[in-house]
Structure 1
Amino acid sequence: MAEACDIEVVVFDILGTMVDEPGGLRAAIRDAVPASDEAAVDQLLTVWQQHVEHEQQRIEEGSRAFAATGVIDREAAERVADCAGLTDPAAIERLATAGQRLKPWDDSLAGLARLARRFPVLGLSNASRATLLRLNAYTGLRWHQALSGEDAHAYKPAPAIYQLALDAAGCPAERVLKVAAHAWDLRGAQAVGMRTAYVQRPGGDPPKSTDTFDWRCDSLDELVAALSAT
C-alpha cells in the first residue's frame, strides 16, 4: 500500500472517471432521436459503445491503422443514425461530437482543484487532442497537462499511453498515481509500475477480488481526503 508521501504526480483517467461519459452519450442520443423511449436509447448506446470498443480493439491488434476518437465517434454516430432512421445531417454531426460535451461528476472540479494545490495533475485519456481541448473547456476541468492517446497512436491499456504520462511526470513510475473508475485501466497502469487508485463511478469497471490497488474509494472526495491527510 502506497502512502500519500510516496506520490509526486497524480494522473487521472477522464472519460467515466472525471466526466459522465455514459450519461452524456445517452443524453445526446435522446436529443438526436427524441421519439425513442429509454429502452431504445439504451440499445442505441450499446450500438455506439460496441462499435468504439471493437474498433479500438482492432487498432490494438494491428488489424486497423490508428484512428483518433473523432473518427471512431463519427462512425459510431452514423451507426446509431442508421439504426434509428436518423437522416438529419446536423443532428448526426452533433451526435458525433457528443464526447466534447460530457458533464463532470459533482465532485470532479473541486477534487481536482484541491489535489492540484498539492500535486502536479495530469489528464490521460483515449480521447483525441481536439476532443480533450473542447471537453476541458466545456467542463471547466483544469489540468497542469492533458495527454491524449493520439500522441502514442494507441488506446489504453496499451503501455505506450501510460508511458506518455511517465515521460511527462519525469519521476519513477512508483511515484506516479493513476486514478480511474475502470479496473482494466488501472491494471494497465500497474503493468508499467504506476501506483493505482480506484474511484467508484456509475458505469465504471469495478475491481475483482484479485486486484491489489493502492486505494479503493467510493468517491473522489474520499481519495482527495486520503491524499491530503499528511
Structure 2
Amino acid sequence: MSEPEIDALVFDVLGTLVDEPTGIRAGIRQLAPAIGDSKVEELVALWQRHVGREQQRVLDSDRTYLASDLLDLEAARLVAEAAGVDDPGAVAELALSGRRLPPWPDTVAGLARLAERSPLIGLSNASRTALLGLNAHAGLRWHQALSAEDARSYKPDPAVYRLAVAVSGRPPERLLMVAAHAWDLRAAQALGLRTAYVARPVGDPPVASDRFDLYADDLAGLAARLGA
C-alpha cells in the first residue's frame, strides 16, 4: 500500500506513547509495598476496568461527563480499598499515578524525528490537567496537545477526533491518526482520517478485517515509512 499524503500526525497517547500499566503498577507498589506481584496485577486490572467502564458509561449517556483525573481518583479509591489501605493522602497520591507514565523506549526520539517532517498533534482521553502532567513526565514533544475534555466526551466519540481536524485546519484525509489501539483507528477512519497502527505490548491489535493505511513495529518504523 502506498504511503498516504498527509499534513499532520495525530497521536493517541495512553498505551501508544506511554506505558500505562507500568505507571499504575509503580503507584500501587508505593501504596502497598508488601503485596505480591499477582495481587499488584489484579489491582492494575481493577483500575483499568473501572476507568474503561466509566468512560463507556459516559459514551452511553448513563453518566454525566467526568474528566479522566476524577475517574483515576475513583479507581485509586477502589484499588486502595482492595489493598487494605485507608489513608486519603495515600489514595490521592496513588491517583496521580495516572499522570506518571513512562514513555516507551522509542517514543521521545521517534516524536522528535517525526516532528521534523510534520506538525504533531496529541489527542488523548486524558483530561487537560492529566495531559499536562503526562507530557511533562514522559517528555513528550508536541506542536499541539488536545484533550477529550474539550469535547466533554471520550474516544471513540467522533467529537473527539473532530478536535484535531478543527485545530489542524485541514480536511480529515490529510491527517494521519497514529495509535496502538485498533478501536481508536477504526473510529478515526470512520471520520475520514488516514490511519497508522503502531504495535505495543498493551495495545489492541488489528483483526483480519481491518484495513489501516500504515503498519509499523515502532515509531522509528513509522518515520521510515513516512520518509522522516
TM-score for both structures, normalised by structure 2: 0.97
Aligned to 2:31: 32
Partner of 2:168: 169
Counterpart Cα distance in 2 of 1:125 and 1:24? 17
Match of residue 222 from structure 2? 223
The CA deviation at 1:94 is 1.1
Q: How much has 1:2 moved relative to structure 2?
A: 5.0
Runs of 5+ in structure 2 lacking a partner?
A: none
**How many matched pairs?**
228
2:94 is matched with which residue?
95
Letter in 2 for 1:8: D
Distance 1:126 1:2, change over 3 A: farther
Residue in structure 2 matched with residue 206 of structure 1 by the alignment: 205
5+ long unaligned stretches in structure 1 = none
Work out the CA distance in 2 between the residues paired with 1:43 and 1:101: 20
The answer (yes or no) to whether the contact 2:3–2:214 under 8 Å persists in 1 is no
SS in 2 for 1:97: helix
Alignment check: 8 A CA contact 2:177 2:195 kept: yes
| 1:2–1:195 contact (8 Å) kept in structure 2 | no
Which residue in the other structure is 1:179 paired with?
178
Q: Match of 1:104? A: 103
Between the aligned partners of 1:136 and 1:144, the Cα distance in structure 2 is 12
CA distance in 2, matches of 1:206, 1:26: 22
Once residues 223 and 78 of structure 1 are traced to their aligned partners in structure 2, the CA distance between those partners, rounded to angstroms, is: 39
How big is the shift at 1:86? Answer: 0.8
In the alignment, what sits opposite 1:143? 142
Distance (whole Å) between structure 2 residues aligned to residue 111 and residue 102 of structure 1:
17
Q: After alignment, is 137-146 or 152-161 more displaced?
A: 137-146
Counterpart residue type for residue 134 of structure 1: G
**Percentage identity across aligned positions?**
57
How many angstroms apart in 1 are the aligned matches of 2:140 and 2:48? 24
Per the alignment, residue 16 of structure 1 pairs with 15
- Matched residue type, 2:104: W
RMSD in angstroms over aligned alpha carbons? 1.0
Maintained 8 Å contact 1:24/1:99: yes
Change (3 A) 1:114 1:85: same
2: CA distance between counterparts of 1:2 and 1:214?
Answer: 8
Find the residue that maps to 2:65 and give its secondary structure.
Answer: coil
Q: For residues 121-170 of structure 1, give each alpha carbon's deviation from its aligned partner in whole angstroms, at most 9, with x where no partner exists.
A: 00000000001111111111110000000000000000000000000111
Q: State how 1:46-125 maps to structure 2 within 5 Å.
A: 46-125=45-124
- Most deviating of 161-170 and 30-39: 30-39
How big is the shift at 1:88?
A: 2.3
Letter in 2 for 1:130: T
Name the amino acid aligned to 2:83: A
Partners of 1:90 and 1:185 lie apart in 2 by 35
TM-aligned CA deviation for residue 89 of structure 1: 2.4
* Pair 1:3 & 2:23 matched: no
CA distance in 2, matches of 1:184, 1:26: 24
CA distance in 2, matches of 1:226, 1:31: 41
CA contact (8 A) 1:52 1:73 kept: yes
